Chain A
Amino acid sequence: MVSLLGKNGAGKSTLFLHFNGIYEPTEGQVLIDSEPVDYSKKGLMKIRQKVGIVFQNPDDQLFAPTVEEDVAFGPLNLGKSQEETQEIVTNALKRVDMSGYERKAPHHLSGGQKKRVAIAGILAMNPEVMVLDEPTSGLDPRGASEILQLLYELNNEGITIIISTHDVDLVPVYSNKVFVISKGNILTSGSTKEVFSDIGLIRKANLRLPRIAHLAEILEKHDGVDFNGDYPLTIGEARQKFNNIL
């Protein structure tokens, strides 16, 4: 799972719309699987099947009157038959734990449920890469961690997940690779450990350390607990470190 961190207006959403050819670059080129994007109709079909985008606001994405029709939209556009589509829809909704909501109207669902349906709509197209713009924004803490758990599982099943987020507490738990961008440029990239070790840069990008790392920083500076500048980023890591110290 790849996370993209950056302050508001850093260019995350714009970048994401380049990932499946919604925007066409005026300079440079977009490579997908090391091939430049083909902006012909046929090329775009292929790219958009391969790279699915889940938009930040599910209300923008869910346009159909019922959940099942919305999920069926992608596969039907790809030319699947009604029977194939039915199987795909059933499985996609089951995968996101929304089985049984087939005939509900999207605007009757909660925020978290809408998000799940939006994810199902992308899963139904069987993408290799799923791009999610702020998948946890507007969700309650439990809803947010459930969505990330789902993405983590999908990632383990072989789908590359790219998310943009501000939630620095959850990023270290789930991400393999992190990018920090600002004003359309990549400031730094690497593992969570590498990225969060440059505290100055993190703060310059309007981000912060995970709470637990911040606690460790304060403990080291003011209370003489020695972490060697290597602060734990997750609860699990912190537990181990504290145990070692104690």
Chain B
Amino acid sequence: MEFDIDFIAHTNRIADYNPYVKVIGSILLVLSALFINNNYYSIFIIIVSSLLLLALARVSLKDYVKFLTIPFAFTFLTCIFMLFFFPSGAYIWNSGFFGIGITTESLRVSLLTFFRVFACFSALGFMSLTTPITDVMSVLRTFYVPQIFCEIAVLMYNAIFIFLDNITVMRNAQKTRLGYLGGYIDSMKSFGSMFSNLFLISLEKSETLQRTLDSRCYTGELPVYKPDRSKDTYPELVS
């Protein structure tokens, strides 16, 4: 895999640091960005969480940029859309075509949304890149988040990595037989058949998972394991 969130979450400098501080801290950052709703404050949050990630957790800039690419593309497109298609107030630029254009209000709203969303992403990024999923879940559980939610989240999280591996394997299998090469329609066909196959595989996987869980006396509830890591008998961990 090119980029592995989970690996970074386990290996960064502050992976073992108190998860409550990290999870609550980043949730507070997210909430404050949502409530305060001010461009300067949002930019401040982006800078703070990026600095924490890069300087304190020592996540490499490359990984961080990769992590932000997808949410960036998503937010950017949304805001472009908002910028042009929701005109209200005085025009700064008018295409003269169905009223499409940039207005003072649409500029203000789209910038505001962009920074707000991005502030939330970087704050959440701080959490997901520094805190292993188990720690996040144990924090959520102490706040009475329903167990079923945590269980589904853990199983899905685990399934994502298996999916990604499967996708890589299937894509390579298609590429060796000249998939994705014959132009747009062909690419779409390759992608579609891969995706439907992925769906079948995931159905099968869920059945297998049920069997493997059952054979270890699964009761319908995933038990929580809380080892006492301060014990002398707790083994020294390999790095």
Contacts and interface: CB of A to CB of B under 8 A. Distances in A.
Contacts of A87: 233
Given A76-B225, A104-B10, A22 B215 contact: yes
A239 interface: no
A100 B132 contact: no
B196 interface: no
A60 B238 CA distance: 25
Contacts of A103: 10, 132, 237
Given A59-B162, A65-B157, A86-B228, A121 B216 contact: yes
B219 A68 contact: no
B212 A55 contact: yes
A133 to B, nearest CB: 11
A131 to B, nearest CB: 9
B148 to A, nearest CB: 16
Interface stretch (B83-91, B109-117, B184-192, B203-211): B203-211
Contact of A125 (B209, B216, B223, B233): B216
B199 interface: no
Contacts of A203: none
Interface string B140-168: 00000000000000110110011001000
A86 B214 contact: no
B238 A68 contact: no
Given A59-B162, A121-B216, A101 B238 contact: yes
Contacts of A59: 162
A53 B161 CA distance: 24
Contacts of B158: 63-65
A78 interface: yes
A125 B218 CA distance: 12
A112 to B, nearest CB: 15
Contacts of A122: 216
A149 interface: no
A102 B235 contact: yes
B121 to A, nearest CB: 23
B201 to A, nearest CB: 12
Give the size category of B's interface with A: 35 or more
Nearest to B236: A100
A17 B211 CA distance: 9
Interface in A165-179: none
Nearest to A89: B227
Contacts of A102: 227, 234-235, 237
3 interchain residue pairs of minimum CB distance: A76-B223, A72-B225, A77-B217
Interface of A: 17, 20, 22, 44-45, 48-49, 52-53, 55, 57, 59-61, 63-66, 68-69, 72-74, 76-78, 82-83, 85-87, 89-90, 93-94, 99-105, 107-108, 121-122, 125
Given A53-B215, A65-B134, A76-B224, 14 more contacts: A45-B217, A48-B217, A55-B211, A63-B155, A63-B158, A63-B213, A69-B134, A72-B223, A77-B217, A86-B227, A86-B228, A94-B235, A101-B237, A103-B10
28 contacts: A20-B215, A45-B217, A48-B216, A53-B215, A55-B211, A55-B212, A57-B208, A60-B209, A63-B158, A63-B209, A65-B134, A65-B154, A65-B158, A73-B216, A76-B224, A83-B228, A86-B227, A89-B225, A93-B235, A94-B235, A101-B237, A101-B238, A102-B235, A102-B237, A103-B237, A105-B7, A105-B10, A125-B217
